[in-house]
Structure formats: structure tokens, C-alpha cells
Chain A
Amino acid sequence: MATKEEILAGLAKAVIDGDVDTAKKWAQAAIDSNIDAFEALTKGCQQGMKVMGDRYSAGEAYIPEIMLSADAMYTTMDMLRPHLKAKAVAPGTIVMGVIEGDVHDIGKNIVKMMLEASSVNVVDLGRDVPIAAFVDKVKEVNANAIGMSSLMTTCMFKMKDVVDMLVEQGLKPKVKVMVGGAPISEEFAKSVGADGYAPDAAEAVKVFEKLMRGA
């Protein structure tokens, strides 16, 4: 049987290669060896995606390859999801989505997975979500929070528009706003008027809990 290190490295490589079949094999290995599902995702697959990002930046990888990597990543996510271990947090409903103009939804989906594993009710609007849709959904499902994700510096500013929408309609102090995505910083989150920021999915669950507790 493969060691934990081998399995994590295998997952990363499968994502880099965009090889769905191998990714499935390593995901099954992770499950069989009782490796923590979240660790398999973050220390395995996500590392592979990071390598692809670096290659893309360096002009060594192209969009079609990255799309294959994303497929591999989603395949493992589907397999690992039922094995996520998380304790339930303060109950609440969060409306999540990737902001208008942006289709990068892998990160948002990992956060969603972790929140759901922690018994949070997530209403997912998907990607490229128009700003008004967030607020309308919040009204419709009477949500306690909004979670916005953006991976593109050109789109993340729209988060401020969503917050403005909430303020204009008097929903702001009641509905908490949480933001994330690679280019987002704590400072940026604060400046758009968000109540919480998290650099990764594990932290996102903690931040959500804190917001729901009103601390």
C-alpha cells in the first residue's frame, strides 16, 4: 500500500496531468488509507492546481490543459465529499457564488463542500453571478449571509457593489458578508465592507461560525 506522502503527491500529479482516471485511483487510495479527505484535497489536488497556475503564469501551460486539471480536481472532489469530517457549526443559511464576470469556481466549491459538511445550508448561485442576484436570493431564502468568491482582480471590485446593494436596501447589519479567492486580502475584504474573510476553506468555516455567533 502507498504511503500518505505518495498518495498526496499522486493526487497532485494527476491534477497537473489533467488525468481523470489516475485522479480517481489516488482518491480511492486516499479513502482506503483513511487519509483525511480535506487534507487529500488541500495538500494533494490543490497543490497540483497551484503548480498549473505557476506554469500558466510562466507561459508554460495553456487554458485547455488547465481545464483538464480542473476536471481532474472536480472528479476527486466528488469522490472525497462523502468522507469529509467536520463538526456541525452554528446553523445558518449562506448564499454563495462567484462574482459577475468570473468563472473560476473550484475554490468556491471547496468552500461550499466544507460548509455543507459542517451542516450549513448553502444556496449556491454558481459562477458569473450578477450582483442583483445575490441580494434577490438573500431576500427569497431569508439567508443569514452571503459568500462571494473571485479569482480575478478585474472582477473582485464588484463585491463592493453587492455590499452597496445590501446597504441600500437596509440588509447589511443583518446579513453578514464573507469573501474569498486567491487575490482577496483581509485588507481588501474590509475595504469593501465585508464582515469576514478567509484564505482557505477550513478557515472559511470558522469565520462563518464566528459571524453567525455575532462575535
Chain B
Amino acid sequence: MFGVGISSGGSFTDAVIMDLKDWRVIAKAKSPTTYQDFSLGIISSLDKVLLASQIPADQVGLVSLATTLATNAIIEGRGGRIGLILIGIKHLELVGLKPETARDLPVHSVASIVGGHGPDGIEAAPLDVGGVREAVKHMLGEVDGFAVSGLFSVRNPEHELTVKRMIAQTCSKPVVCGHELAGSLGIYERTVTAVLNARIIPIIERLMKEVKGALAQRGISAPLMLVRGDGALMNEAVALERAIETIQSGPAASVIGGKFLASKDDVVVMDIGSTTTIISTVKAGTVKTDESGATISGWKTRVRAVDADALGNGGDSRIWIDDAGRLKVGPRRVMPLAFASIDFPTLKEKIAKSGSWEFINASKAMRKVDGSELINRFIGTVSRLEPITLDGLKNELSDVPVVDHLFKTLDEAGFIARIGLTPTDLMHIKGLFPLGDIEAARMGAELLAKTLGITAEELFDRVWKIMVHKITLRLTELQNSGGASYSNSADQSAVIGVLESVVSGALGDLKISCTLNSPIVGIGAPAHLFIPQVAKELNTEAIIPPNHEVGAAIGALIGNVASTSEFLIKKEMATSNFVVFPGRHVFTELEPAVEFTLKMGKEVSFAQAKRAGAAEIEFRVERKDKVVPNLGFMWSEIKVTATGRPSLEGREK
């Protein structure tokens, strides 16, 4: 049997097909990512890889997909209309629902209902069932789905479940409860997670439907898996309930792919993509995750995700000259000239005529323009003239006095797409990247080099040095902050200052060097161009494995299906009882309480993992006890994880 892994995030959607027995890569392919409709790029890369491999459809036993669709949808503010039902929350501003908070939650309507529990899992106030009924009746016709979030629902989910049942009795719209997606305290984060999840369900649903349809057309009946932000896999049935867990799945797939390709248990994975360089760490075979939850578009969620640092430097970083005449790279992302020239065939002419290598264009991002007349005219002009230089636009709109201001505002809001010279263009010139228009790239590079009074060759070297320096510095900072703790921020910036000097060699005759203890594995198409130099700076080994350019697609395929459930056993001093949460199961002795927890944990996580498509399930138990001298046992936090390989036995009904 063979498996297809697809990673759709950066400028390209990558696909691999691997032998599921020995993990041999049979074929690989790339297609441009189609941001307007992800499924097109996904299906195109799928077709390419199938064709290249010559493997018949009935030999494909598994298809697994890592996609940034959910992330993009949230950043762009897309999604369904959600009715939020809050239970037992007195201070609405704490869940981001008051004007004085920076951003409102993206909900259509909110009802605040009396009820909720206390930290001991005991009802703080009875649920106002009448209030729920009333609220649901009001919202029903206006919303696409519901989110339900109650105070201390992770200690006792009863009220959330009651509301969910009540809604399910009146309609079949999705209902997402806070406790279903998060096991730890933090009503704000759970509410955000539930709301965003409910919002993007229809978007993920559509993608799955289209990809599934395409698979069926090609005669593939294998289960379709989605990668989660922690690298684990889930099938469609579960992905439709937990769509939010696909955020960060791109970085997750790349770190898992990197670890696999390097066959190392301690390694730093660097994925040099088009927009960003992602840095993550594997220690003792475990990928570092952020247990407190990933932040997306400014919203803190409780979604467990790989702890990946995204450095705003990648192939599509803007190469520019600052006011002081210094050469800079990034952090802004622009569309490489080599690719823009394909979308806009007149680009080369425009470069020649204007003598400029930077252009603007109206962004394709689907955003509602709140159309003041000026803004509409501005956007209209930019769209009509296709790529245009900023000076050209100012001439065109010379009667608009606030054109600079307008440009700045619209640019910050993401209405403006920029085109310019990038490392990707330089790679084209070097013949390292064969997909775009080399001539356009060369024209831009020569213009910029001329401005600096250097040759295009020298420009290449200098841009490379800057990239390597930035990546090295960020890596040393990360590795340093991972191990060190500072008593204050002044100490921390002092250390970073020293690191900067070490990396840039700016300490005069004093030579200090940094040594990274683990090798660096490079993932992504341009990895081989940067990583060896970064590794050299840090006195460590660079691993550029075969198939590194499709590392994330490989990572998407090799993950396991997993499900974790979290419990708390607390000793209640007044009664000397041991209480298991969620739910308040009371025991007089610790051991039976632990036994009960493990049994329940295994049952729950087994059922969930099986539902998510796992076979050959194994358990992992993590237990953290709090014991204080003289007082003895206080509480125990227990996590039970069930993992298994994806079952190849066809799709769920």
C-alpha cells in the first residue's frame, strides 16, 4: 500500500507518495498554492504525484493533508456566523466581549446565561434553562453554528453539555463546547477556541468535500486525514468537529518530516519557506509543543501546537535599500518579480520604462472594502493599472491630496499587494529555481545592484550573508532562551547583545563562538542554500536530506493518530477525600482514584483515537503529582494519550 502526503501552505503545495511499508519516497511534485480555493492546488499536486509515480489508484491506502486553510480563514476573518452562549460569566470583558478590549470575538450574537461551576466542580448557580431556551430561539434563524462556554467547564462540563443537548433538540447546526477542545483553565482561551472552531467548520467541510470528491473521481477510496497543529492526524469525522486543531499544521508537518528525514532524536529543524523560516526543536525524539495553546491572529487559543518560531525571512522577503542606503532583507513579504512577470506579462516593460523594481497592485485577498469614495477610487486605480510604481500611482491620483496616507492605511490593512526583488529572484538568476521568469528577476537585481554601486553577483553574496546572519542570530536567541532564565529583561537584552556580536563577529580581536549541541536539518526548497552556512556559524552539522524540498508533505503522511484526555485528582482537605475532575468523582483513598482515572482516561482516549481513525492503539500516561513537605499529597495532573497508526480500512461511514 502507498500513502499520499500533501502540504499546502506556502507559495507551493507539495505532494509525495510513499510506500507505507518501508517509507520509501516513490515520487514527489509541486503545484502553486491556490489561495482563493486551496482544493485546486491540492488536487493538481495530487494528480502530478500520481502521474509521476505510476501507482494505480487502488494501491493508495491513505491520503494525508497539512493545510493552512484554517489559519488563513481566521486571519482573513472568514467563517460562519456564530451564536455564543456563555454560562456563569459575570465579567464579559474577560472573554473579550466589551468595547474596551482590543478586539471583539467574531460572534454574531451573544447570550450570557446564569449558571456555571466553581473550581471544585460544584455548581456555582443552577443553569437558567429558560434563559437558554429563549436565547437559542432568538439565535436560531440567524446563525450557522453555536459555541458554548461555561465557567469551570473543564472541572465540570455538565452545563455546557445540557446546553448542547438543548440546541441539538431544536436544530442540526454544529454546536461546539469549550471543554471539548481544551482541558485546562482559562475561560477566555476556551471561548476563543470554541468560537473560532465553530466558525471555520464550514470552511474545512468544504475543502474536505472537494478533496474527497476528487479522490473518488480518481478511484481512490482511502481515508483522508488532516494534520493537527501538534503533528498528529485525524480523519474527516473528527476534523469536522475539531477544525481549529489544524492551525499550525504546516510547521508541525515540517518538523515531523525533518525529524524523520534526519533520523535523529535531537535535532533543530529549519524549514525555509517562501514567506518565513520556521525553527523548531526535537529533543529525545519529542517535538517541542506549546502546551498553553497557539496564538492566531492575536487570539490566544487552547490548541496544542508545535512550538515553532516563525522568522519573517524566507524566499519571498523583500530586498530593499533603507533611507541610509543600507541593503536590507525582509521582514515584509513581496511577490517575487520572477512570478509576478508570469501573472502580469507587461511587467518587464514596466521595469524597463520606470527603472524601478518595486510595484504595487490591489491585493486579491477577499476583504470587504468599507467603501468611502476615495478608497474605492484608489483601489480602482491600482487594480486598473495592474502593477504600478508608487510614484506612478501618485501621478495618476495627483488630485487626491491624501494619497500617501491612503496608501499607508490600505497597505497596513492588507489591500495592497507588493511586487519586488526577493531571494527567490536571486535563486532564479543562479538557476536554482526554475519555475518563474528569470529575465524579470535579472532586470530587478541589476537595477537594485546599480543603485548600490555593486554587481548583481555581489548583491547575491550580500543578500545571502544577511539571510544567514538573521537566521543564525534568531536560532542562537531561541536556543539560549530555551535553556536560560533571566532575573530581568535588562539581563536578557544584554545576553542577546552579546549573541549578536558573536554572530556578526563584531568583537574585534576577541573571538567568541557559539556551539549548537544538535545538528540542524534543513527542510524546504532553498534549505541547501542557507543551512550549511548557518550550521558552520554554529559549529554544528547541517543535514540536508534527500527529499528535503517536500519534507512537510512527508511529515504530513508519517504522523500518528492521537487523542489526549486530561484529568485532575485533588485532595479536599476538609473531607480528606480525593476528587477526580472533570466531573467530581469522589474517593476516600488515592489509589482507587488513580485507578479510576486511568481506566476512564484510557476508555475516553481510546474511543476518541479510534473515531479519529487510529489502529493498533497504544497508551501513554503522563502524571504530575504535587506533594508538599509536611502536608503530603495535594493533587495530581494526569494526561492519557492514545496513539496509533492511521487505519487503512477505508473511510468511515
Contact = CB atoms under 8 A, between A and B. Distances in A.
A171 interface: yes
A118 B571 CA distance: 38
Contacts of A54: none
A160 B572 CA distance: 11
A5 to B, nearest CB: 34
Contacts of A169: 91, 94, 151, 187-188
Interface of B: 90-91, 94, 118-120, 124, 151-152, 185-189, 487-488, 571-574, 626, 628-631, 634-635
Contacts of A188: 628, 631
Given A154-B573, A171-B94, A191 B634 contact: yes
Given A168-B187, A187-B628, 8 more contacts: A101-B574, A154-B574, A157-B634, A167-B186, A169-B91, A170-B188, A188-B628, A191-B626
A131 B119 contact: yes
A161 interface: yes
A136 B91 CA distance: 9
A157 B185 contact: no
Given A187-B629, A191-B626, A161 B118 contact: yes
Contact of A185 (B186, B626, B628): B628
Q: Top 10 nearest A-B pairs by Cβ distance? A: A164-B119, A161-B119, A157-B573, A167-B185, A170-B188, A168-B185, A169-B94, A154-B573, A191-B628, A188-B628
A164 B185 contact: yes
Nearest to B575: A154
A195 B186 CA distance: 18
A136 B630 contact: no
Main secondary structure of the interface of A (DSSP, over half): helix
Contacts of B630: 185
Contacts of B124: 132
Contacts of B631: 153, 188
A161 B120 contact: yes
Given A157-B634, A215-B488, A168 B628 contact: no
A139 B574 contact: no
Contacts of A136: 90
Contacts of B90: 136, 139
B115 to A, nearest CB: 14
Interface string A102-130: 00000000000000000000000000000
Nearest to A187: B628
A153 B94 contact: no
Contacts of A207: none
B86 to A, nearest CB: 12
Contacts of B186: 167-168, 170
Contacts of A170: 94, 186-189
Contacts of A132: 118, 124
Contacts of B635: 160
A165 interface: yes
